[in-house]
Amino acid sequence: AANSGVQSYRQEIGREIAIYGRIIIGFLREAEAGLAVGELCRRHGFTEARYYFWRTKFAGMNVSDAKRL
């Protein structure tokens, strides 16, 4: 039963990457350019926790790199 939870989580992340990879990379680049994380999250409607999750997964990647995950 625990494995099915892990699998569904991985599938969810995979779908997120496939659909929103370009957008996620754009958010990370805005933060790298100096926009405060809190302000970035408010502007685009996601949580700081989600931002930091994305940062651990996608930092330094371009869109084609993210799609290969």
Q: What is the pLDDT of residue 68?
A: 59
pTM: 0.65
Nearest CA to 55 out of 19, 26, 28 is that of 28
C-alpha–C-alpha distance, residues 29 and 34, integer Å: 9
User: Taking a C-beta distance cutoff of 8 angstroms, is the pair 68, 57 a contact?
Assistant: no
The reported pLDDT for the residue numbered 23 is: 86
Distance of CA 39 to the CA centre of its chain: 16
Which tens digit of pLDDT belongs to each residue from 7-53?
A: 777 777 777 777 778 888 888 989 999 999 999 999 999 999 999 98
